[in-house]
Copies of this chain bind each other. A is one copy, B any other.
Amino acid sequence: MLSKKTKYGLKALTYIARVEGDAPVQVGEIAANEKIPQKFLESILTSLRKSGFLGSKKGKHGGYYLRKEPSEILMTEVMRILEGPIAMVPCVSLNFYEKCDDCPDENECSVHKLMIQVRDSTLNVFRNTTLADLSGS
């Protein structure tokens, strides 16, 4: 299941991409328009800022803005920051690999083989989708 954090984060990024002009976009505005709890959204935008997708301006008339073009923000990157591993099991994760406690040999594990297929098909979607695709009309 997609966490609320990820869902809210994607909606916020989309919102910013759509309305962005000269002025940064405020948390309160996003929260109101997308029906996201404001304090929760704050923490999500903080993590998007710390991971480099967003920049911020503090103080009055402050807000958030994109640091890259929407067409250069890949879903693979966003999903890994917000949701974590794309793979359904650590033993098939490209970026968060962990060996299974059970499984003496991964190559003989039926679950392993299946989950590699799922990972690859999901990756194929995320690699071919950018924020521009999400925010485009």
Interface residues of A (CB under 8 A from B): 1-2, 7, 10-11, 14, 34-36, 75, 85, 88-89, 101-102, 109-111, 113-115, 117-118, 121-122, 124-126, 129, 134-135
> Which residues of B sit under 8 angstroms from A10, Cβ to Cβ?
110-111, 114
Nearest 6 CB-CB pairings of A with B: A110-B134, A121-B121, A35-B102, A2-B88, A14-B110, A117-B125
Tell me how many chains of this kind the complex includes.
2
Measured CA separation A60–B8 after assembly (Å): 54
Measured CA separation A111–B9 after assembly (Å): 10
Q: In the complex, given contacts A7-B111, A121-B125, what are 20 additional A-B residue pairs having Cβ atoms less than 8 angstroms apart?
A: A1-B88, A1-B89, A2-B115, A7-B89, A10-B110, A10-B111, A11-B109, A11-B110, A11-B111, A14-B110, A36-B102, A75-B114, A110-B135, A114-B125, A114-B129, A117-B129, A118-B122, A121-B121, A121-B122, A122-B122
Q: How far is the CB of A35 from chain B (nearest CB, A)?
A: 4
Measured CA separation A128–B64 after assembly (Å): 44
Q: How far is the CB of A102 from chain B (nearest CB, A)?
A: 4
